[in-house]
């Protein structure tokens, strides 16, 4: 069947199971938007291309399926560089389609030309510049394969206009269904080495102070059930990194919460005092380890990762296993059972009682609200948590609100926490929440945002209103770039430089209403709960609540930058007790 590149692209996307894409048309991609009208694919028209990228990420986070965005050439392509980098850092499966100037015009500085594949080389798992219409079906098939297998990541496909324009003879092709992949350099290694698995099991049995260090790979590998089985078989505590919140239920007796710079006292200290870290799909990020030469000094390390380059990159492992996290955990469980677990395990009574003591003495805490003060952001979070469904999806931006959300929410289900971990992209929350809601329309989706973050991508709430995507946004509005303010207060002698936004500008309620949302402003603690209840009842449009919060609140615990995790600063109310 003779067809053209634009129709072939749409058909190829449909064959990959794409149901939704996020995008914005323009000159070079224009011919593709015509066959879109005849396609089964739902297209969400964004207001800024960055929004399309983050929506695709949020969709992928929530559903596990690749997020797809499509934008034109030049400035549109550069506008998705941030989402691509974000997806690359957090291993999010994503396929981005970009228009390009006609192949013959490449290199001539044509209108809206930029070197998209050159620019995105460092922020994609792989990218393609398609040069022939007949390559389109195969390249799309390859792009989805690369994005979704191994360590997932973003793949960009750059398509010159002439090969998708039916009025151009270069666009003609005979349609075919790709039957496989000709990618001789792309090999997958999902199966763990049985000998290494056996050695891991031996270390686990012998360990007296083991901790499971669960990272984002648990969620990518759909390994939450396997992780739980391992933890319960061995009775070992689990810390869940920022990328793994929800990967192990927070209400489980073995859950210690988040490790790292703003982790719980017990998660941080248990890792620090451990004699065996069982790192599963985690990458020893600097925000987790603190100063590396003082990190978990007595711990041996078992490290499981699908990406061989993560093994021994930061911390040398005693047993380094390349493989899919789920398959590796299942193999370790089998090996442990053969070796007589749990009966054959070392005595851990002392360790368990030490950990329980920490949990009891150092829970997350914050100061009580005093009459007349602004709202406590932690209280707002707890109230949203307690009045929303257990499987609510929470999306955050980056900063204090992100850390509080990760700390104070109880994540009891996988794929309920969506945030920008590696890149730390302010403005991620609102579009990611929209993407998540599109992927999971039956779930309540709360965007927990800061006022600084909100102002970066709020325009996408117009998209949400028009497309009837009823997300809920809680702005923890302290009128500051709060995390920077916290550092300036603590480490720059309260010399506040360029961190105050504005007490009353913008008018968030008015802005929300102008974008077609319900806008609510809350100053009084007594109004917090009714506002949240009201928001949770609204299901036909987005809701934005402007919570006026206390700017002096800081995120605790905290490991100061450059310090070891042994120098964790607890909440001031617990500091004396600790000394």
Partner 1 sequence: MADEEGNARRLHTLVVRVENKAGVLARVAALFARRGFNIDSLAVAPIADDHFSRITIVVDVESAPLDQIIKQLDKLVNVVSIRELSPDELVERELMIITVAAGADAAALAAEHGAVVLAESGHHTMYSITGPTAAIESFEDALLPHGIVELQRTGKVALDRLDLA
Closest CB to partner 1 among residues 19, 193: 193
H helical segments located in 339-399: 349-361, 377-386
Closest CB to partner 1 among residues 165, 305: 305
Q: Do 144 and 178 form a contact (C-beta atoms < 8 A)? A: no
> Whole-angstrom Cα distance, residue 543 to residue 536?
9
Closest distance to partner 1 from the beta carbon of 105 (Å)? 16
Closest CB to partner 1 among residues 96, 474: 96
Closest CB to partner 1 among residues 121, 505: 121
Which two three-digit tokens encode residue 302?
Answer: 């078992």
Buried b (16+ CB within 10 A) or exposed e, 434-451: bbbbbbbeeebbbbbbbb
Q: Where does 255-371 show beta strands of DSSP type E?
A: 255-257, 276-280, 300-305, 319-322
Side-chain-side CA neighbours of residue 203 (13 Å): 25
Q: Do 245 and 259 form a contact (C-beta atoms < 8 A)? A: no
Q: Which residue out of 125, 161, 220, 376 is catalytically annotated?
A: 161
Whether cis (ω within 30° of 0) applies to the bond prior to 291 is: no
Closest distance to partner 1 from the beta carbon of 184 (Å)? 5
Closest CB to partner 1 among residues 126, 220: 126
Buried b (16+ CB within 10 A) or exposed e, 123-139: bbbbbbbbeebbbbbbb
Determine whether 295 is an active site residue.
no
> Whole-angstrom Cα distance, residue 113 to residue 111?
5
Closest distance to partner 1 from the beta carbon of 142 (Å)? 9
Determine whether 483 is an active site residue.
yes
Closest distance to partner 1 from the beta carbon of 85 (Å)? 12
Q: Do 212 and 280 form a contact (C-beta atoms < 8 A)? A: yes
> Whole-angstrom Cα distance, residue 78 to residue 100?
12
User: Comparing C-alpha atoms, which of 49, 56, 55 is closest to residue 28?
Assistant: 49
Which two three-digit tokens encode residue 500?
Answer: 């105050």
Side-chain-side CA neighbours of residue 315 (13 Å): 30
Q: Which residue out of 403, 483, 515, 558 is catalytically annotated?
A: 483
Closest CB to partner 1 among residues 181, 578: 181
Closest distance to partner 1 from the beta carbon of 217 (Å)? 15
Q: Do 233 and 333 form a contact (C-beta atoms < 8 A)? A: yes
Closest distance to partner 1 from the beta carbon of 207 (Å)? 26
H helical segments located in 376-473: 377-386, 400-408, 429-439, 451-457, 460-466
> Whole-angstrom Cα distance, residue 32 to residue 507?
39
533: number of Cβ within 10 Å? 12
Closest CB to partner 1 among residues 120, 419: 120
Binding site for partner 1 (CB under 8 A): 117-118, 121-122, 125-126, 129, 146, 183-186, 307-309, 311-313
Side-chain-side CA neighbours of residue 88 (13 Å): 17
Closest CB to partner 1 among residues 106, 364: 106
Q: Which residue out of 7, 16, 49, 310 is catalytically annotated?
A: 49
Measured between alpha carbons, how far is residue 95 from residues 66, 68, 73, 495 in Å? 7, 5, 15, 44
> Whole-angstrom Cα distance, residue 534 to residue 539?
10
Closest CB to partner 1 among residues 130, 332: 130
Closest distance to partner 1 from the beta carbon of 425 (Å)? 19
To the nearest 10°, the Cα dihedral for 60, 451, 124, 152? Answer: -30
Determine whether 490 is an active site residue.
no
Determine whether 547 is an active site residue.
no
Determine whether 494 is an active site residue.
no
Closest distance to partner 1 from the beta carbon of 11 (Å)? 24
Q: Which residue out of 14, 111, 298, 468 is catalytically annotated?
A: 111
Closest CB to partner 1 among residues 196, 205: 196
Closest CB to partner 1 among residues 24, 306: 306
> Whole-angstrom Cα distance, residue 295 to residue 444?
38
Spatial strand order of the sheet with 518-522 comes to 417-418, 393-396, 445-450, 472-477, 543-548, 518-522
Q: Which residues contact 504 (CB under 8 A, 6 or more apart)?
A: none
Q: Which residue out of 15, 19, 112, 527 is catalytically annotated?
A: 112
For tokens 């005093």, name the residue: 370
- The β-bridge relationship of strands 2-4 and 172-174 is antiparallel
- Residues classed as catalytic: 49, 111-112, 161, 483
């Amino acid at each position: 069947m003779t067809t053209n590149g634009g129709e072939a692209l749409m058909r190829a996307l449909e064959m990959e199971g794409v149901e939704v894409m996020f995008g914005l048309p323009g000159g070079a991609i224009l011919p593709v938007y015509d066959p879109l009208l005849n396609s089964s694919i739902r297209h969400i028209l964004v207001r800024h291309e960055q929004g399309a990228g983050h929506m695709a990420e949020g969709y992928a986070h929530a559903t596990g399926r690749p997020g797809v965005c499509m934008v034109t050439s030049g400035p549109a392509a550069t506008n998705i560089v941030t989402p691509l980098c974000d997806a690359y850092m957090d291993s999010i499966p994503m396929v981005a389609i970009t228009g390009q100037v006609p192949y013959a015009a490449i290199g001539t500085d044509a209108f809206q030309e930029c070197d998209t594949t050159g620019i995105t080389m460092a922020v994609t798992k792989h990218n393609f510049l398609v040069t022939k219409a007949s390559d389109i079906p195969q390249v799309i098939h390859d792009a989805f394969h690369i994005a979704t297998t191994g360590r997932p990541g973003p793949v960009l496909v750059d398509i010159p206009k002439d090969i998708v324009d039916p009025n151009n003879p270069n666009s003609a092709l005979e349609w075919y269904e790709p039957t496989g992949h000709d990618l001789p350099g792309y090999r997958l290694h999902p199966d763990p080495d049985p000998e290494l698995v056996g050695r891991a099991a031996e270390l686990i049995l012998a360990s007296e102070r083991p901790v499971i260090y669960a990272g984002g790979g648990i969620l990518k590998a759909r390994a939450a059930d396997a992780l739980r089985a391992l933890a319960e078989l061995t009775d070992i505590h689990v810390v869940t990194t920022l990328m793994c919140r929800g990967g192990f239920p927070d209400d489980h007796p073995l859950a210690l919460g988040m490790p790292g710079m703003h982790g719980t006292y017990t998660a941080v200290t248990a890792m620090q005092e451990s004699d065996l870290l069982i790192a599963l799909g985690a990458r020893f990020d600097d925000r987790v380890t603190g100063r590396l030469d003082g990190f978990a000094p007595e711990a041996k390390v078992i490290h499981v990762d699908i990406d061989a380059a993560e093994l021994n990159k930061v911390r040398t492992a005693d047993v380094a296993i390349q493989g899919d996290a789920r398959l590796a955990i299942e193999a370790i469980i089998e090996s442990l059972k053969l070796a007589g677990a749990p009966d054959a395990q070392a005595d851990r009574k002392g360790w368990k009682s030490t950990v329980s003591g920490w949990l009891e003495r150092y829970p997350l805490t914050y100061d009580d609200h005093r009459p007349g003060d602004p709202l406590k952001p932690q209280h707002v979070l707890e109230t949203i948590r307690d009045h929303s469904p257990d499987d609510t999806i929470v999306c955050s931006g980056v900063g204090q609100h992100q850390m509080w959300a990760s700390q104070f929410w109880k994540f009891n289900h996988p794929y309920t926490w969506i945030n920008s971990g590696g890149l730390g992209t302010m403005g991620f929350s609102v579009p990611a929440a929209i993407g998540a809601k599109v992927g999971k329309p039956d779930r309540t989706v709360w965007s927990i945002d800061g006022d600084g973050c909100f102002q970066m991508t709020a325009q996408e709430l117009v998209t949400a209103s028009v497309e009837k995507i009823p997300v809920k946004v809680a702005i923890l509005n302290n009128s500051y770039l709060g995390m920077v303010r916290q550092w300036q207060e603590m480490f720059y002698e309260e010399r506040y430089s360029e961190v105050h936004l504005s007490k009353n500008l913008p008018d968030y309620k008015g802005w929300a209403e102008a974008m077609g949302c319900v806008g609510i402003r809350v100053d009084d603690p007594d109004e917090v709960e009714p506002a949240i209840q009201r928001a949770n009842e609204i299901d036909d449009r987005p809701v934005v609540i402007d919570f006026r919060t206390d700017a002096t609140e800081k995120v605790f615990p905290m490991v100061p930058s450059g310090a070891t995790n042994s120098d964790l600063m607890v909440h001031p109310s617990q500091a004396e007790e600790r000394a």
